[in-house]
């Protein structure tokens, strides 16, 4: 089959001309995936025009109904977070000798609890809406909002469950337990707190840090949308991606400076936020690599493009669009 020279990109569609999947090719390429009859050539202007057609008014309700079960599970997870927040934590044994490292001053939060939803949810959603106003892609807006909410509630479930199970005292636990400075211990040497119950209860929730674990989604979103790692040499893109991470680092440091967390708590919170991403990213890379193909397999498959195109089309199944 004669070769063709591509002007911009070769796009793959399934049945509808949307959500193209770009093939990494050189200046010349051979038309592939004839069995699917899905490969077409379009320039960037046409693609942007099609994306602008998918607005909230025209397709918002359809997208929401398609992912109704995702929203229901999200609500369930949010309810679990609230439940875990109000249940009593494990009241760990704390002796007088252990109080030596728990006498840091009880001071207000530099980053209060009420601000967590603002910088972890509201700020990213503002960025998503700005992108939507430019591209008019309701699917990207919907999936981004759903993704940030899932990242927050899932890390919330993990964080609150571990907090309640571990019951590690905060560095300022002494003044929570004994606000007047008068110590009291029972017959086995455990503390007998006479401070406010809610303040004492919060004092047993040091590990891990919830402020740190719910950060990072915005950085990953920006790195994908601005193609920060396209090897084009644009250092400014990397700076944009690093800004949310810098904010996350400053929040983490503030938790230690305020004596609300030990450094191990902050480190564990960061692992909860980034650990799953690192794991699934490694799994994805292993799956893409796959077993090495033998020469016989390549000859049997012609130039090996059929399996490759089949894999690419299967990847599109996660991004199908439901049309009315």
Same domain, 138 and 273: yes
- Please report whether residue 39 resides in a domain: yes
Residue 107 lies in a domain: yes
Q: What is the pLDDT of residue 21?
A: 38
Give the chain's length.
Answer: 324
How far is residue 127's CA from residue 141's CA, in Å, rounded to a whole number? 10
d(CA 165, CA 168): 9
Among 193-202, 267-276, 283-292, the range scoring the smallest mean pLDDT is 283-292
Q: What is the mean pLDDT of the chain?
A: 76
Q: What is the pTM of this model?
A: 0.69
Name residue, tokens 């919907």: 142
> Helix, strand, coil shares of the chain as percentages rounded to 5?
60, 5, 35
> Is there a catalytic annotation at residue 143?
no
In this predicted structure, the answer to whether residue 176 has a pLDDT above a threshold of 60 is yes
> What are the C-alpha distances in Å from 215 to residues 121, 226, 268, 306, 311?
9, 19, 13, 40, 32
> Is residue 215 located within the same domain as residue 298?
no
Answer yes or no: do 157 and 283 share one domain: yes
Same domain, 176 and 303: no
Check the CA dihedral 205-208-212-216 and report its sign. Answer: negative
Question: pLDDT digit string (tens) for 93-135?
Answer: 999 999 989 999 998 888 888 888 888 889 889 989 998 888 8
**Alpha-carbon span 31 to 320, nearest angstrom:** 23
Q: What is the pLDDT of residue 224?
A: 83
- Most confident range (mean pLDDT) of 112-116, 164-168, 296-300 is 164-168
Q: Are residues 207 and 312 in the same domain?
A: no
Which of residues 152 and 45 earns the better pLDDT score? 152
For residue 131, give both structure tokens.
Answer: 């992108």
pLDDT at residue number 10: 38
> Among 170, 195, 173, which Cα is nearest to 255's?
170
pLDDT reported for residue 47: 52
295 and 284 in a single domain? The answer is no
Verify that 93 and 162 share a domain, yes or no.
yes
C-alpha 234/C-alpha 237 separation (Å) is 6
Shared domain for 72 and 18, answered yes or no, is no
In terms of domains, do 281 and 298 share one? no
Residue 72 lies in a domain: yes
d(CA 253, CA 261): 10
Domain boundaries, position 160: 56-288
- 138 in the same domain as 14: no
The answer to whether residue 187 is domain-embedded is yes
Output the six-digit token pair for 236: 């400014």
**Residue 211 annotated as catalytic:** yes
Question: Percent of the chain scored above 70 by pLDDT?
Answer: 72
Beta bridge partners of 137: 54
Classify residue 40: in a domain, yes or no. yes
Q: Do residue 154 and residue 127 come from a single domain? A: yes
Task: Give the model confidence (pLDDT) of 78-104 as tens digits.
Answer: 999 999 999 999 999 999 999 989 999
From 59, 139, 142, 261, active-site residue: 261
Domain assignment of residue 324, yes or no: no
Which of 38-47, 179-188, 224-233, 273-282 has the weakest average pLDDT? 38-47
Q: Does 148 have pLDDT greater than 80?
A: yes
Identify the three-state secondary structure at position 39.
strand
Q: Are residues 158 and 230 in the same domain?
A: yes
259 lies in a domain? yes
85: in domain: yes
| SS3 assignment, position 271 | helix
pLDDT digits (tens, 9 = 90+) for 260-287: 999 999 988 888 877 777 777 777 778 8
| Helix (H) or strand (E) segment spanning residue 11 | strand 9-12
How many domains would you assign to the chain? 2
Task: Name the catalytic one among 59, 139, 211, 262.
Answer: 211
Q: pLDDT category, 57, cuts 50, 70, 90?
A: confident
């Amino acid at each position: 089959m004669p070769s063709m020279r591509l002007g911009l990109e070769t796009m793959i569609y399934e049945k509808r001309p949307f959500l193209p999947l770009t093939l990494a090719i050189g200046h010349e390429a051979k038309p592939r995936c004839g069995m699917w009859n899905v490969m077409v050539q379009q320039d960037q202007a046409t693609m942007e025009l099609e994306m602008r057609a998918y607005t909230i008014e025209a397709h918002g309700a359809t997208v929401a109904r398609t992912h109704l079960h995702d929203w229901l599970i999200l609500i369930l997870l949010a309810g679990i977070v609230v439940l875990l927040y109000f249940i009593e934590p494990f009241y760990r044994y704390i002796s007088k000798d252990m109080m030596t490292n728990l006498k840091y001053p009880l001071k207000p939060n530099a980053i209060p609890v009420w601000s967590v939803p603002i910088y972890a949810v509201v700020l990213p959603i503002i960025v998503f809406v700005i992108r939507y106003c430019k591209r008019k892609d309701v699917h990207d807006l919907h999936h981004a909002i759903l993704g940030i909410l899932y990242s927050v509630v899932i890390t919330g479930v993990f964080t609150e469950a571990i907090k309640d199970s571990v019951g590690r005292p905060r560095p300022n636990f002494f003044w929570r337990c004994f606000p007047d400075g008068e110590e009291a211990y029972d017959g086995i040497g455990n503390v007998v707190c006479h401070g406010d119950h809610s303040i004492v209860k919060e004092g047993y929730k040091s590990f891990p840090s919830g402020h740190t674990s719910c950060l990072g989604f915005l950085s990953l979103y920006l790195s994908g949308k601005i193609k920060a790692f396209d090897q084009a040499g644009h250092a400014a893109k990397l700076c944009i991606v690093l800004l949310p991470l810098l904010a996350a680092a400053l929040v983490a440091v503030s938790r230690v400076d305020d004596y609300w967390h030990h450094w191990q708590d902050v480190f564990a919170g960061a692992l909860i936020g980034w650990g799953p991403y690192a794991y699934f990213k490694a799994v994805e890379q292993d799956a893409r690599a796959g077993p090495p193909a033998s020469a016989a397999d390549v000859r049997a498959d012609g130039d090996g493009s059929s399996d490759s195109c089949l894999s690419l089309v299967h990847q599109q199944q996660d991004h199908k669009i439901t049309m009315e």
